[in-house]
Amino acid sequence: MEPDELLEGLTEPQREAVMHTDGPLLVIAGPGSGKTRVITHRAAYLAQTITSPAHVLAITFTNKAAGEMAARLERLGAGAGMTCCTFHSLCARLLRIYHDRVGLKANFSIFDEADQLTAMKEAVRRVDLSTDNFPPRQMLNVVSHAKNRMCAPAEFRAEADGWQDRKVADVYEAYNEVLTEQSAVDFDDLLIKVAHLLADDPELRARLEDRYRYVLVDEYQDTNRAQYLIARGLSLERCNLCATGDPDQSIYGWRGADLSNILDFERDFPDARVVRLEQNYRSTPQILRAADKVIAHNRQRKIKALWTGNSEGAAVTVAECEDAQGEGRFIARRILAHVEAGGRYGDVAIFYRVNMLSRTLEDALRALHIPYQIARGVAFYQRKEIKDVLAYVKAAANPDDRVALLRIINTPARGIGKKTVERLLAGAAEANVTLLELLDRLETVPDLARAERPLRSFATLMRDLQATIAHGSVQDAVEFVVRHSGLLAMWGAADDDSAMENVEELINAAAEYDRQHADGSGSAIDWLQQISLVSDVDAIDEQLGAVTLMTLHAAKGLEYDVAFIAGLEQGLLPHERSEIERADVEEERRLCFVGMTRARKILTLTHTRWRDFRGMTRRTSRSLFLRELPDEQVEWLAVGPDGEPVGTGGENDEPEIPASAMDYLEWRKGQLVRHPKFGLGRVMWIQPRGGRTHAGVRFTAYGEKTLVLEYANLEVVETYEGDLE
């Protein structure tokens, strides 16, 4: 496509953004304002007018977005040679090249969450602390936060306030050591190591800036400090940084995203051009107005004038359902109605705040035979059988990766027990060799006794696997593991068909990778890297013709004709963590805003009166955000248990939220109670837990249920004339 053609059909501000070639550019783009189109056309325009594609770097938020951008560029005839990727994959690639400058080997591992947890446990133990007082999970959070702020252990210690903090600094330092020993990095390291590389090596920085002369960063509102430094580092001299984003869609503050990156862009680049895209081409006025009304309640916000020229559509619907099952049925029926009216399943998405909610929704969809897919790419790779297979490949590809090797040294059980492993670890530490190397000189390890024989055959297995990896395809490597590791026999013995099916899928994925790298550019390490960096949305397939389920976080950047948001309840959206721990209700509101603005034509928000949570039922109250909707053009429905509307909802008949536990001292074992939904029952047990009071109540009609007294809205029944049991 010719440069002029790239400008066709663009509005004035869009054209301005596309044609701004040199110098800093900030595009503040409201939802549905054609942002993707603008950055794609701008990248193509750059590549065709003043530089070659090889000098353009486009950084997106997910691999999927990167892939789509590459595909669009190709359609525009400007794709070849351009780099489209995420921050993480860019950094991983750079580190494969410049690994020695940051103390890594070329075949370094990328630790996923589970690996990180294992490493953290070791770190806590190593500094002689108890995992009870320093929970590894929590430590990882603290460390990740520090890393996102580019705060190294030494600085962390300098800021430390009190004994506890200093100990955490020790843990942080030890954790990094544990990773480095294994030539491993975590997700945050990918970013901060590259950020440091750029800061500490001016010559290399200049070379990279020359390589990537034009940098585009999408979803800039969700970048953290390290990502900011990388973007800045790559545009230090030429300042050819184009950032696009929307402060109202910043939803990753909990992950260290720093809104000031986008808010201070003009201060960072005083001569920055700022383009605002405020016209929405996506949604009906009803949807946009509702979303705008909600987001307007945020106080820390720059006012943005969202408007649309789209024609009027249906009112936004709010449905109050009895419980999660009713909610699922309601949504499923609506989807069916949409399809009966000529719509397609693929037009529809269901969003929710927490993954847990997908379960009942899935049940409801399945019951009505509605095809669906869940955006959950990572979940597949977290399955035990998949992790086991991958651990073999990892351990062979990076012999320093102790976490991987220890995972599989006795999986399946082959007679290498805890004692033996301890001896091996001690032997490896003493001889300063990797475990894998030690396996080739077992004679130096004392007291192996009957473990020696399995060790020798394990050593042979791993050597053969390494040879397969070196000479064969990725598929060969995976198949070698499945065939020779004994895993297959283990699943067979356990009658675990799903494990075998999943591994089949893994082999397919490996084969697909091989096909895409038929030119010999692939490697097992690269494949593993790709897997480490998949995101949930990467798994979704628009062509599938199925309803798509995903979290609100995953929904960013996507759009659907018909969108549902489930679970608009206090404690869920906004999530209770944000209400209590931090004053982050505004981020929750932005999340709600993101969800609402995904819809093109029909937006339906649902909530339930009762919600099951960790095995107990509790009364809910309507989300704050529902109260913030406009009065006009919102239809309030009350939905019966079967999922059919039974009237108008929206009245305020709700119980006032949490009464203190003190009010419930009257509850005793054996007490007769009446529940508004389950009817008559008897209290079987009471147990205070975490500031709430849990109780088991046996209902005449519904059997025994576990309830939270503070939420359950129970009524004491003093005398009862009838027959209870």
Partner DNA sequence: GGTCCAACATTTTTT
Partner DNA sequence: ATGTTGGACC
Which residues contact DNA by CB under 7 A? 61-62, 86-89, 113, 131, 135, 137, 187-188, 254-255, 353-356, 378, 410, 413-420, 451, 533-537, 551, 553-554, 575, 577-578, 581, 614-615, 706
Q: Pseudo-torsion of CA 113, 119, 123, 129, nearest 10°?
A: 70
Q: Which is nearer to DNA, 114 or 429 (CB)?
A: 114
Enumerate the H helices of 606-668 as residue ranges: 624-627
Length of the chain as a residue count? 725
Catalytic entry in 112, 115, 189, 218 = 218
What backbone phi and psi angles, to 5 degrees, belong to 49?
-100, -50
Residue in this structure with the two tokens 């962390």, named with its chain if needed: 156
User: How far is the C-alpha of 131 from the C-alpha of 84, rounded, in Å?
Assistant: 41
At its nearest, how many Å lie between DNA and the CB of residue 88?
A: 4
At its nearest, how many Å lie between DNA and the CB of residue 51?
A: 26
- Give which of 608, 620, 616, 641 is closest to 705, Cα–Cα: 616
Q: Which is nearer to DNA, 294 or 306 (CB)?
A: 294
Q: Which is nearer to DNA, 1 or 684 (CB)?
A: 684
Q: Which is nearer to DNA, 577 or 627 (CB)?
A: 577
- Give which of 47, 59, 61 is closest to 18, Cα–Cα: 47
User: How far is the C-alpha of 571 from the C-alpha of 721, rounded, in Å?
Assistant: 38
- Give which of 111, 289, 77, 245 is closest to 187, Cα–Cα: 111
At its nearest, how many Å lie between DNA and the CB of residue 143?
A: 12
Amino acid of residue 238: R
Query: How many Cα atoms occupy the beta-carbon half-sphere of 388 within 13 Å?
Result: 22
User: How far is the C-alpha of 384 from the C-alpha of 3, rounded, in Å?
Assistant: 51
User: How far is the C-alpha of 654 from the C-alpha of 660, rounded, in Å?
Assistant: 17
At its nearest, how many Å lie between DNA and the CB of residue 320?
A: 23
User: How far is the C-alpha of 146 from the C-alpha of 159, rounded, in Å?
Assistant: 11
Catalytic entry in 14, 36, 221, 411 = 36
- Residue 249 falls in the annotated catalytic set: yes
User: How far is the C-alpha of 665 from the C-alpha of 671, rounded, in Å?
Assistant: 12
User: How far is the C-alpha of 572 from the C-alpha of 588, rounded, in Å?
Assistant: 10
Catalytic entry in 249, 279, 434, 530 = 249
The answer to whether 322 and 521 have CB atoms below 8 angstroms apart is no
Q: Which is nearer to DNA, 253 or 326 (CB)?
A: 253
At its nearest, how many Å lie between DNA and the CB of residue 378?
A: 5
At its nearest, how many Å lie between DNA and the CB of residue 187?
A: 4
- Residue 49 falls in the annotated catalytic set: no
At its nearest, how many Å lie between DNA and the CB of residue 268?
A: 23
Distances (CA, A) of 399 to 139, 202, 394, 416, 418: 27, 33, 8, 18, 20
Catalytic entry in 112, 219, 327, 536 = 219
- Residue 35 falls in the annotated catalytic set: yes
User: How far is the C-alpha of 229 from the C-alpha of 128, rounded, in Å?
Assistant: 35
Q: Which is nearer to DNA, 65 or 174 (CB)?
A: 65
At its nearest, how many Å lie between DNA and the CB of residue 280?
A: 25
At its nearest, how many Å lie between DNA and the CB of residue 180?
A: 19
Burial (0-12, 13-18, 19+ Cβ within 10 Å), 603: buried
User: How far is the C-alpha of 262 from the C-alpha of 26, rounded, in Å?
Assistant: 8
Catalytic entry in 14, 15, 35, 60 = 35
User: How far is the C-alpha of 580 from the C-alpha of 602, rounded, in Å?
Assistant: 33
User: How far is the C-alpha of 401 from the C-alpha of 395, rounded, in Å?
Assistant: 6
Q: Which is nearer to DNA, 337 or 449 (CB)?
A: 449
Burial (0-12, 13-18, 19+ Cβ within 10 Å), 516: exposed
At its nearest, how many Å lie between DNA and the CB of residue 13?
A: 29
Q: Which is nearer to DNA, 50 or 449 (CB)?
A: 449
Angle between helices 163-181 and 113-126 (to 10 degrees): 120
At its nearest, how many Å lie between DNA and the CB of residue 231?
A: 15
Enumerate the H helices of 519-608 as residue ranges: 524-532, 576-580, 585-596
Helix (H, G, I), strand (E, B) or coil at 714: coil
What the block records as the tokens of 725 is 């049991």
**Distance between alpha carbon 590 and the CA centroid of its chain, in Å?**
17
For residue 201, the 8-state DSSP code is -
Catalytic entry in 598, 609, 619, 622 = 598
User: How far is the C-alpha of 408 from the C-alpha of 416, rounded, in Å?
Assistant: 10
Residue in this structure with the two tokens 């009166």, named with its chain if needed: 609
- Residue 598 falls in the annotated catalytic set: yes
Catalytic residues: 35-36, 218-219, 249, 598
